[in-house]
Amino acid sequence: MKNKYIIALFLLGVVVTTIGAFFKIAHLEIGPFTGSLIITLGLFIKVVAAIVFITKLLSNKNNDFLNK
């Protein structure tokens, strides 16, 4: 997975978490989607992005991974 996709996945998690926080503050519910569920989904996406980033960082044999 390329670095830009990892960053995009992390940013997607940030956006979803922010939307979940808005739902929680405004006490909104759209069907089964509540603020708590959306925040949990966003945090899960960020954890997946972090795990992918760490595994790529540890498995990279070149020392210039962060400089790309």
Q: How far apart are CA 52 and CA 41, in angstroms?
A: 17
What pTM does this model have? 0.84
The model's pLDDT over 25-47, given as tens digits with 9 standing for 90+, comes to 999 999 999 999 999 999 999 99
Are the C-beta atoms of 51 and 10 separated by less than 8 Å?
no
pLDDT tier for residue 21 given thresholds of 50, 70 and 90:
very high
- Tell me which H or E stretch contains 29: strand 29-30
- For 45-68, write each residue's pLDDT tens digit: 999 999 999 998 888 777 665 665
Q: What pLDDT is stored for residue 1 in this prediction?
A: 76
* Distances 48 to 3, 8, 27, 54 between C-alpha atoms, Å: 14, 12, 27, 10
Q: Could you give the count of Cα atoms lying within 13 Å of 63 in the half-sphere of its Cβ?
A: 0
Average pLDDT for the chain = 90
Q: Give domain limits for the chain.
A: 3-58
